[in-house]
Structure 1
Amino acid sequence: MGGGTDAAAATPVAASAPVIGVTTYLEQAQTGVWDVPASFLPKVYLDAVTDAGGIVVLLPPQPASPEIARRVLSTLDGLIVSGGADVDPARYGQAPHPRTGAPRRDRDAWEDALLTAAIEAELPFLGICRGAQMLNVALGGTLVQHLPDVVGSEAYQPGPAVFGEATVAVDAGSRLAATLGEASEALPVHLYHHQALDELAPGLTVTARTGDGVIEAVELDAVPFGIGVQWHPEENTADRRLFAGLVEAARDHRTKRIEA
């Protein structure tokens, strides 16, 4: 009887929680006796969404088409395009730099289709690191393929699995500032990217930079909530404001869709 009461009490909360799809890697992975290609996503992404009151659904790379992307997103209230491997430079008309990683063309196509469908449906979305870069490329922008060539240091990716620490200036009046609750001249962030946004795609607005001018956040003006950041907010367990903002926007989107 006690278990039934607890379940009933939890139902209203669960019913109102928005469902957030998060894209994943597709990598060779070992578990037990198996060494196979597998969907993979660091748990910190899951924790960030659930800490903010959302429910997570994983979206591994798979054959993509506009119809498939629309069908998937029709079941979701929000989308996160996660970090990971370099975007194929052929997508923005460049030959690969010697330091550009091997392309993950299946993931590129999948995330491009999801972002295109999300924008079309005005589904709230957040791009993180590669996700911000994918957003720029999907809309017609380009990337700096190796940021140390521009800034002269490895500060944005100090070493394997070592996050850089920096501060970014967030523009007042931006959706990012509203989501964080304030503009900031010195927002501390975790960085891990050797590439960066270069030529900005039409429709995107830069809303945060580092002190040396590297773009660290953009937003898409044409949708209610469409933000891309090149830092890794999921690594900061003390600050869930970006995820809380996405979850709240996803809740609003869900409500409007139900009422329509």
Structure 2
Amino acid sequence: MSRPIVGIISNSYLLNDQYPAHAGGTMNSEAVSGVSDCMPILIPADPRFVSVAELMDACDGFLLTGGRPNIHPEEYGEDYTDAHGDMDRARDAITLPLVRACVERGQPFFGICRGFQEVNVAMGGTLYPEIRDLPGRDNHRMPPDGTLEEKFELRHLVSLEEGGAFHQLFGAAQVMTNTLHGQGIKSAGSRIKVEGHAPDGTPEAIVVRDAPGFTMSVQWHPEWDAANDPVSRPLFQAFGAAVKSFAADRKEQLRQTA
């Protein structure tokens, strides 16, 4: 039997300073295939090539990945400054309406880093352009030097809301995570429930309140060593279970209407 399909949102790159490409980190595909037990498909996040309706028909769930470009602040009612960094308006045009449509339909998605921020913005929230510039906040950015293992090493605790979805999934009130982000939630969207915080108060784990499907999203990068990490593995397993359930329900609905 074929596995359900997870659309992995890709990012735009310029290879060799001149060749435009859409790409996604191999570790995202490894986590979706090996831990979620779903078939990963890379999605060119650009409305010139795909529409939200087409994506929702073709895929059973979505992985909203991290990426260097940030969400344009116009998407949450603020002016652009140099502190906001690089932008990707094409990805904004796909992911923000995709999140809202998935919430409405109950189609599963899992937001990671930029994807976590996309979920908040799609639900009406705002972002800080640079967490480390805020009084009392830590530097959450990726270390500039070192191996990948050193850059993705576990760096801080995340404290979880007692009885929340993350607490129930992990069976723990605190978990250790990596941290590789510059921006973060300023104000939570109207339906965003923040269930996890870093020691400095930065929101790290969210769900969409009263959503009928899987909406767990995290500010860290659980795709790193997802098969072995005790925090990453249950996240991708739970996501995979939700995608399989959605795919089975959709097949049954199609069978009944055939």
Q: Which amino acid aligns with 1:244?
A: Q
TM-score norm. by structure 1 comes to 0.85
Tell me the amino acid that sits aligned with residue 246 of structure 2.
Answer: H
Partner Cα distance (1:48, 1:114) in 2: 21
Q: Is 1:99 equivalent to 2:83 in the alignment?
A: yes
CA separation of 1:40 and 1:151: change in aligned 2, threshold 3 A? farther
Contact kept? 1:23, 1:58, Cα under 8 Å: yes
Deviation string, structure 1 residues 181-232 (Cα, Å, up to 9, x no partner): x1322x1111111110111101110111011111001101222311111000
Q: Equivalents in 2 of 1:105, 1:139: separation in Å?
A: 17
Aligned 8 A contact 1:97 1:146 in 2:
no
Structure 2 residue 163 is the aligned partner of structure 1 residue 188 = no
Task: Provide, for residues 88-125 of structure 1, a one-character-per-residue CA deviation record: whole Å limited to 9, x for no partner.
Answer: 11111112343221221111111112212211221011
Pairing 1:24–2:7 present: no
TM-score, length-scaled by structure 2: 0.86
Report whether the alignment pairs 1:81 with 2:74. no
Alignment of 1:71-220 (within 5 A): 71-84=54-67, 85-152=69-136, 155-160=139-144, 162-163=151-152, 165-180=155-170, 182-185=171-174, 187-220=175-208
1:244 maps to what in 2? 237
Cross-structure match for 1:5: none
Determine helix, strand or coil for the equivalent of 1:168. Answer: strand
- Which residue of structure 2 aligns with residue 51 of structure 1? 34
Match of 1:254, SS state, is helix
Deviations 1:52-83 (A, max 9, x none): 11110111122169x92122111211111100
Q: Which residue of structure 2 aligns with residue 3 of structure 1? A: none
For these two proteins, the number of residue pairs brought into alignment is: 240
Residue 245 of structure 1 aligns to a residue in which SS? helix
* Distance of 2:132 and 2:101 partners within structure 1: 34
SS of the residue 1:198 aligns to: strand
Q: Distance in 2 between matches of 1:229 and 1:148?
A: 18
* Residue identity (%): 28
- Give the structure 1 partner of residue 214 of structure 2: 225
Distance 1:170 1:76, change over 3 A: same
Q: Gaps (5+ residues) in structure 1?
A: 1-11
2:24 corresponds, among 41, 53, 74, to 41
2: CA distance, partners of 1:251 / 1:174: 23
Q: Which has the larger radius of gyration?
A: 1
- 8 Å Cα contact 2:23/2:42 also seen in 1: no
CA contact (8 A) 2:51 2:94 kept: no
